[in-house]
Amino acid sequence: MALATSYSLGDRPSERGARESLDNVIRRVAVEDTPMFSLLPRGPKAQAMMEEWICDDLDAPRFPGVVDGKALAFSGGFADKTTSRARLENRIQQLERTYAVSPQAQAVNTAGGDLLAVSKSKSLVELKRDIEALICSDTDQSTGTSGAGDRLSGLGVWTNPANTSRFPDATHQAYRARSGSRFNLTGAGGAGMTEANFRDLLQAIYEGHGSASSYRLVAGPSVINQVSGFTRVEVSNHATYQLTQNVGDGTLKLSVQEYISDWGRVYLVPSLLNGFTTGGTLGNAQRNRGYLIPGDGNLQIRYLEDIRTIDLADVDGDGKRGLVRAMLTICPLAGGKPLGSIV
């Protein structure tokens, strides 16, 4: 007697009438978290293609003693208090993601929901990732041409103690990131970052900024692992753990989420979107990258045009389409002095 079985229906069961079982939910496997984009405060709306602001500093302390009754020289006894000012800038950059669906594709019943709505939603997520990666990139400012758009300077530039593009002269360089505020994890030769290295980095920021404030360390996995490793000491090839917590409930917590130092409290925020180039893929450059951002609002995002979706008319009859777009820049209002980095 001939017997129909599941495996006798062929590679495509529907050819013989068997129905398919296809989930209606599409699950993404890519990174969607954008911590820097979420953490940075929004500044006032941008008004031009170049955002500019002024930094100022205080004169060094001095107390020579003043001779009582001594007359001041009118031309030499008074100080110009504007000479330390520096005008900093960052360009607005436009980001865009497009989508399109043909009439037939839109009419077909597909898994995952309405194809046009899903395409728009996916483009918004991609745009948010683009903004995150741009903020945390080494991209430097450039003026647009007929073949290329304007570019802003990312945090890789603003946190570089040797940068001369944003800080071209001695007046501007007084506001760039301090020497010692960047640790080269990639060039550590396998030795990694010790707790002493991390404390030195925080101390350098404190000496430049003068405030032991709280920080967010938005960092790749290798950097997070380095900080977590401060709780572990290798003794005769056996790992021991330095802990100050009560483990009476049987739960041993080895994750470091907050690091309290003499120079401020540091909250650890994992990220996989630091240090990217356009179209780049995850590698050691991203795993080893971290930015220390103070919680005092000195680093802002400013929008010339906020994130928006634009639905375009189906003019030629070849399908619906649209785009999502944003125009923005970042403004380190105190220059690079309050910022730190691990690269």
Among candidate residues 158, 184, 163, 197, the one with its CA nearest the CA of residue 293: 158
DSSP state of 292: E
Per-residue pLDDT, 78:
83
Residue (of 97, 87, 90) closest to 151 by Cα position:
90
Domains of the chain (ranges plus CATH)?
Answer: 30-55+83-236+253-342 (3.90.1690)
Question: Reduced to 3 states, what is the DSSP secondary structure of residue 99?
Answer: strand
Q: pLDDT means per 10 residues in the chain (343 residues)?
A: 63 60 66 87 95 93 87 80 94 96 86 86 94 96 92 97 96 95 87 92 90 89 92 61 58 72 91 89 92 92 96 85 96 95 97
Q: What is the dihedral of CA 213, 219, 222, 225, to 10 degrees?
A: 50
Q: Which residue has the tokens 């572990």?
A: 232
d(CA 80, CA 198): 39
pLDDT for 104: 87
pLDDT at 159: 97
289 touches 275 (CB < 8 A): yes
Give the per-residue pLDDT at 308. 94
> What's 143's DSSP letter?
-
- Supply the pLDDT for residue 177: 96
Residue 317: per-residue pLDDT? 80
For residues 136 and 156, is the Cβ–Cβ distance under 8 A? yes
Position 30 scores a pLDDT of 63
Alpha carbons 87 and 236: distance in angstroms, whole number: 55
d(C-alpha 299, C-alpha 53), whole Å: 12
Q: Answer yes or no: are the C-beta atoms of 329 and 46 closer than 8 Å.
A: yes
Distance, in Å, from the CA atom of 37 to the CA atom of 117, rounded to the nearest integer, reads 24
**pLDDT at position 295, please?**
87
